[in-house]
Amino acid sequence: MVFFGGSGDLVTRKLLPSLYQCHKNNLLVGQGGIHCLGLEDYSQTEFVNFAREKARQFISGGEWDDAVWASFSRWLAYDRLDATQPEGYGVLQERLSRTLAEVNVFYLSTASFLFAPICENLARAGLIGANARVVLEKPMGHDLASSNAIAEAVSRYFLENQIYRIDHYLGKESVQNLIALRFGNTLFEPLWRREWIRNVQITIAEEVGIGTRSGFYDQAGALRDMVQNHLLQLLCFVAMEPPSSLKSSAVRDEKLKVLESLVEFSREDVYAKTVRGQYRPGISGGQPVGGYLEENDIPADSKTETFVAIKAEIANWRWAGVPFYLRTGKRMPERLAEIVINFRDVPHPIFPMTNGNTAHARLEIRLQPDEYIRLYFNAKPPGDTMELQQVYLDLNFAEKFKIRRPEGGYERLLLDVIRGNQALFVRQDEQEQAWRWVEPILNTWAADSTGPKTYTAGTWGPSAASALLSKDGFCWHEEE
């Protein structure tokens, strides 16, 4: 496995710790190695020590083992490489010639404008064989045209079945349990449709600000960074039809049908069905924090959105008329990712509620920080009245399954790349369709001089996000 950008934040904070865990659990077998390439001038020993210190920060205390790291680090190699210079690939060629690995995985943890030159230089060095695979990190371009240009450049050297467009949310246990819940049981299938579901809410909230990513984030914004990939992929798994099998082609065919069924936005739709926000100073994590415009290297007149809420609609028989509310933002009250399925009320309520309010049945699928599935419904508490109270059935993965759960999704996805399983990766036609749906929103916002609405750091975004649902007679479930 070869990491371009091998001394960068993603590799040292996420990918190497994930591979360490795979090694610790005896999931990496056979002959192979992990070769990191970067611009820093580390010696072999310096890089291993650097990687060790970074990894220890992101591996929970009970999971760290010095002896395991020592055996894992024997697989690590590092070389300085400018990925744009063809002459530098000789050292990689020489390294790979000494291994007995059956598959070479090239993981491009770099800016997407480097994808094309890296693939071209790998081809020139004769390193792309039939068993080579390439992993592409998001974002792939900044709009439909640039994404297609990158796809065309990479496809000159790799076939589609060799390309793995990674979305780490799809490696999370709860996403895979959503698939098992839907397609491994008959319980929910009769209810999983427009007749019984009021709305679907998908949220990815971050408590942190932009950190050190100002250069990237101010060019991307929340819509490109989170909606076009993570949120739309989660929507696909909620809304897709049952695939004929778990083969990657069958699963991805059904996801594509959902993306193709999303109702496209007119200019008027963008104003009526989307909200963009930007955080101003407030309290986050109990501490005062500055606003987005006060972050380092952010222009004082930046109109980049740090919050997005969208009402999406799917034009097919299963979902016609059911709104899908998508929401993501920085400087939210807490870090969480969740999918909430709100079911319809009974047609004629005959029971009072203990708090005087109607409580709606809902299925809550929490992706992070804890992973669980909860089914909320109404029940009668003990006593001599027939008032109802909301209760829930809880499947907490950590409590139910007394085995370690992979963190972050990368462990599962890295193993899938090695095994050649593409079911949880994004196919090019999916990528293209997602950009096609998002682009009218991008274009309308770019032409709107008013910019995003502001919201106080530590809150759930602008009030317009609540108004988006209240127009339909709904509210975000935490407001209920």
- The rounded distance, in Å, linking the Cα atoms of 95 and 77 is 9
312 to each of 125, 259, 285, 441, how far by Cα in Å? 46, 11, 31, 12
User: 137, 167, 226: which is closest to 426 by C-alpha?
Assistant: 167
Tell whether residue 255 is among the known ligand binding residues. no
> Omega into 139 within 30° of 0, i.e. cis?
yes
- The rounded distance, in Å, linking the Cα atoms of 283 and 291 is 10
> Cβ(327)–Cβ(476) under 8 Å?
yes
- The rounded distance, in Å, linking the Cα atoms of 47 and 73 is 10
Tell whether residue 189 is among the known ligand binding residues. no
- The rounded distance, in Å, linking the Cα atoms of 388 and 356 is 10
- The rounded distance, in Å, linking the Cα atoms of 173 and 166 is 16
* Residues forming beta bridges with residue 163, ordered by sequence position: 134
Tell whether residue 54 is among the known ligand binding residues. no
Q: Give the type of residue at 102.
A: E
Tell whether residue 168 is among the known ligand binding residues. yes
| H or E segment and range at residue 269 | helix 267-273
Task: Name the active-site residue from 23, 35, 230, 360.
Answer: 230
Q: What is the largest CA-CA distance in the chain?
A: 83
Pair of tokens at residue 271? 């104003």
Tell whether residue 66 is among the known ligand binding residues. no
- The rounded distance, in Å, linking the Cα atoms of 325 and 327 is 7
Q: What is the three-class DSSP state of 323?
A: coil
Tell whether residue 206 is among the known ligand binding residues. yes
Q: What is the three-class DSSP state of 386?
A: coil
Confirm whether 477 is a catalytic residue: no
Map tokens 């909430």 to a residue.
Answer: 340
Pair of tokens at residue 446? 């770019």
Binding site members for NADP(+): 138
Catalytic positions are 230
Binding site members for substrate: 168, 172, 206, 225, 330
Binding site members: 138, 168, 172, 206, 225, 330
